[in-house]
Chain A
Amino acid sequence: MTAATLRSTSKDPRRAREMAGRVGWGIVAWVVAIAFFIPVLWMVITAFKPESAAETWPPQFIFRPTLAEFRLVFSGWGPFVTHSVIATVGSTILVLLLGVPASYALSVYPIKRWRDGLFFFISTKMLPIVAAIGPLYVIAVHTHLLDSIWLLIILYTAMNLPLAIWMIRSFMLEVPSELLEAARLDGAGRVREITGVIMPIISPGLVSTALICVIFAWNELFLALNLTVTNAATMPMYLISSVPQEGLYIAHLSAAATVASVPVIAVGWIAQRSLVRGLSMGAIK
């Protein structure tokens, strides 16, 4: 047993070069990250400016920050944020309720024509909803759902369900079949199988899916704009209303934009791993 004398890394030309490369590319990555983030940063900075400091040339970086614009935003946002929360949470819950069983039927004990089923769901996303906006408006009027939060919940669910089914299905495919067989041997019926065995295992996947649904529902503008007026107006609408016909508005706009975006950004940052998992479907093997 020899106690070998060890050599420092810097004397190894290969490792030294590797390290230099790593630092170099790391710097490039940081430059890219910051460049990409600047518009968001600028939005937040401008939100703290008084209007007089927001539309200047050159743009100001040093100024006296104020919460005045935020206060204005918070004084007006009440109904809008409520509607957004209801529509987002409601549609996401509905998506999960409908999506989990559907994914089950397309993955674990699949129906014979599961490929057709899956393709049908995806195809509904490929047909642009914009094409039906006129008739949708007419239907909404006739069913008395115009400017109703229920309409948004219904439509957002339909909007997110195909993607959710695809994602949940891919997570279900990762459940080892031995676990399912063991559960069956233990006498678990289908419902118990889903709730007792599958859902605990895919719960991170469900979180990812819910996250994606929340992002798309919260941020949705087109349907809200066309099908709501006041009783169901959501945060994106509030944002638009912060652009007046005349007068200075940039700081106020930035504050509104920040407030509108912060919930999703915060959730996305905190549950980042979950988000990444969801976006990459976890299971393209």
Chain B
Amino acid sequence: MAQVKYVSASRVYTKGAPPAVDGLDLDIKDGEFMVLVGPSGSGKTTALRMLAGLEPLDGGRVEIGDRDVTFVPPKDRDIAMVFQNYALYPQKTVAENMGFALKMQGVHKEERDRRVREAARLLDLDDQLLSRKPKALSGGQRQRVAMGRAIVREPQVFLMDEPLSNLDAKLRVQTRSQIAELQHRLGITTVYVTHDQVEAMTMGHRVAVLSGGNLQQCASPRELYENPVNQFVAGFIGSPAMNLQTVPMVDGGVKIAGTVLPLPGPIRAAAKTAGLSELVLGIRPEHLHLANGSGELPGDVILVEELGADALLHVRLAGGGDPVVARAEGRRPPALGAHVTFRVQPDDMFAFHPVTGARLAA
């Protein structure tokens, strides 16, 4: 069994400074693909390195399987890691790179070669590449060698630190699905760090969103998308991002776009309980429906981004404020400068506390 547990894990770099990772509690199931996502500085890489044993813990503990590995050196944790810049051994051939860990374990040459060749086949690496050195390989090939080096070890846990960030866009999309498929086939518990929320959403069984060293929410991609627990998660997950605006409360709703938008009952009640006079309203772009003149929210189109299947409209709502983004049909989007109106379903509205960011009435 190779579940992974972070129990109140903390890491502080300088005494007195805010922790890089602050009391992280995370349970990762055996065979799960867990993605740690967040902006830079959120502590996701530090958390991964704590699991690898490359960063010490200043508080709490880490468990792999049922073992407390907090004080165990990396080589005894039965993990394998794919580094952001691949960290391939420059003076060794691809085969030697992939077989290095096995060599350290004392595995015999024939067995080593067999496992290396197997992993190479799995990753679509040509036999002739095996005798080349890393600097003679393309970026994509190097990335696969880095993966191969991890796979060969058949560890209990895979750790991946933004392995796709150095690839060009097209290759990234391709490799993304390959990694997900590979993990599914091998069934090894994987902890994957990325700052790209699209990667997080498409690859993970569950996604843990971190910010400022703290876990914001850990749930399935769908759950994160439909039920964000606070403003940070709501604004981070989803592309294009959810429209968020601070709006004053009025009787029955909020004032926005020069008009009163009615809020659903539960939200109004939660706001009243918290004694708020304003809140942060969140509406996803696809939930702003174009209504030919009959919608509640009027505005002017200031930019049209044509994506082919869809179009993204940047609209300045009447009454000023930051422009909102709305998703529209790709075929005949409104023209630049056109006056449009939007309709919103009450169920599609999110509201957040203006100070704490917590979701009002989940």
Q: How far is the CA of A7 from the CA of B19 in the complex (A)?
A: 13
**With A1-B214, A4-B8, A6-B10 known to touch, is A12 a contact of B19 (CB < 8 Å)?**
no
Closest chain B residue, CB of each to CB of A15: B56
Q: What residues of B have a CB within 8 angstroms of the CB of A4 in the complex?
A: 8-10, 19, 22-23, 58-60
A7 touching B71 in the complex, CB below 8 Å, given contacts A1-B214, A2-B8 = no
Find residues 132-178 in chain A having any chain B CB closer than 8 Å to their own CB: none
Within the complex, what minimum Cβ distance (angstroms) separates A63 from chain B?
49
Give per-residue flags for B69-81: 1 if the beta carbon is below 8 A from chain A beta carbons, else 0: 0110100000000
Q: Scoring B residues 324 to 359 as 1 if CB is less than 8 Å from chain A, else 0, what string do you get?
A: 000000000000000000000000000000000000
How many of A's residues come within 8 Å of B, CB to CB?
11
Of residues 169 through 214 on chain B, the ones whose CB sits less than 8 Å from some CB of chain A are: 214
A15 — which chain B residues lie within 8 A by C-beta? 56
Is B12's CB within 8 Å of the partner chain A?
yes
Find B56's partner among A1, A5, A14 (CB 8 Å cutoff): A14
Which range holds the interface residue count of chain B? 10 to 19
Distance in angstroms from B26 CB to nearest chain A CB is 12
| Chain B 6-52 interface residues, beta-carbon cutoff 8 Å to A | 8-10, 12, 19, 22-23, 25
Whole-angstrom distance between the Cβ of A5 and the nearest chain B Cβ? 6
Chain B residues contacting A1 (CB-CB under 8 Å) are 22-23, 214
- How far does the alpha carbon of A5 sit from the alpha carbon of B9 in the complex, in Å? 10
Give CA–CA (A125, B21) in the complex, Å.
57
User: Counting chain A CB atoms within 10 Å of each CB, which of B8, B25, B58 scores highest?
Assistant: B58
CA distance A5 to B58 in the complex (A): 9
The answer to the question of A187 belonging to the interface, with a C-beta cut-off of 8 Å to chain B, is no
Q: Is A131 an interface residue (CB 8 A)?
A: no
Within 8 A of A (CB), among B59-98: 59-60, 70-71, 73
**Bound Cα distance from A15 to B56, whole angstroms:** 8
Bound complex: CA A4 to CA B11 (Å) = 10
Task: Indicate if the CB atoms of A2 and B23 lie closer than 8 Å.
Answer: yes
A12 touches B22 (CB 8 A): no
> Nearest chain-B residue to A1 (Cβ)?
B214
B56, A12: Cβ atoms under 8 Å? yes
Which residues on the B side are within 8 Å of A6 (C-beta)? 10, 12, 58-59
Q: Which residue of B lies closest to A5 (CB)?
A: B59
B23 touches A3 (CB 8 A): yes
Question: CB within 8 A of B71: which of A2, A3, A5, A12?
Answer: A12
Residue of A nearest to B73 (CB): A14
Q: Mark A56-81, 1 if CB is under 8 A from B, else 0.
A: 00000000000000000000000000
- A14 to B19 alpha-carbon distance, docked (Å): 21
Query: What residues on B are CB-neighbors of A13 within 8 Å?
Result: 71
Tell me if A7 and B58 are in contact (CB < 8 A): yes
A72 CA / B355 CA spacing, docked (Å) = 80
Task: Give Cα distance in the complex from A14 to B57, angstroms.
Answer: 11
- Residues on the B chain within 8 Å of A2, using CB: 8, 22-23, 25
Cα–Cα, bound, A14→B59 (Å): 14
Write the B270-306 contact mask toward A (1 if CB under 8 angstroms, else 0): 0000000000000000000000000000000000000
Interface members, chain B 238-259 (any A CB < 8 Å)? none
Q: How far is the CA of A3 from the CA of B214 in the complex (A)?
A: 10
Chain A 1-40 per-residue mask, 1 if CB under 8 angstroms from chain B, else 0: 1111111000011110000000000000000000000000
Nearest to A11 among chain B residues (CB) is B71
> Which among B59, B73, B214 is the interface contact of A7 at CB below 8 angstroms?
B59
Among A1, A4, A5, A14, max chain B CB count under 10 A is at A4
- Residues of chain A with a CB closer than 8 A to B71's CB: 12-14
**Whole-angstrom distance between the alpha carbons of A4 and B12 in the complex?**
10
What residue of chain A has the Cβ atom nearest to residue B9's Cβ? A4
For the complex, give the distance between the alpha carbons of A77 and B19 in Å: 62
What's the Cα separation between A28 and B58 when bound, in Å?
Answer: 30
Give the CA-CA distance A12 to B53 in the complex, in Å.
12
Separation in Å of the A19 CB from the closest CB of chain B?
A: 11
Shortest beta-carbon distance from B10 to chain A in Å: 4
Chain A to chain B: the 3 pairs with minimum beta-carbon distance, closest first: A2-B23, A4-B23, A4-B10
List B residues at the A interface (Cβ < 8 Å): 8-10, 12, 19, 22-23, 25, 56-60, 70-71, 73, 214
Can you list 26 residue pairs at the A/B interface with Cβ under 8 Å? A1-B23, A1-B214, A2-B8, A2-B23, A2-B25, A3-B22, A3-B23, A4-B8, A4-B9, A4-B10, A4-B19, A4-B59, A4-B60, A5-B59, A6-B12, A6-B58, A6-B59, A7-B57, A7-B58, A7-B59, A12-B70, A12-B71, A13-B71, A14-B56, A14-B71, A14-B73
Which A residues contact B (CB, under 8 angstroms)?
1-7, 12-15
Besides A3-B23, A4-B22, A6-B58, 18 new A-B residue pairs in contact (Cβ under 8 A), listed by A number: A1-B22, A1-B23, A2-B8, A2-B25, A3-B22, A4-B8, A4-B9, A4-B10, A4-B23, A4-B60, A6-B10, A7-B57, A7-B59, A12-B70, A12-B71, A13-B71, A14-B56, A15-B56
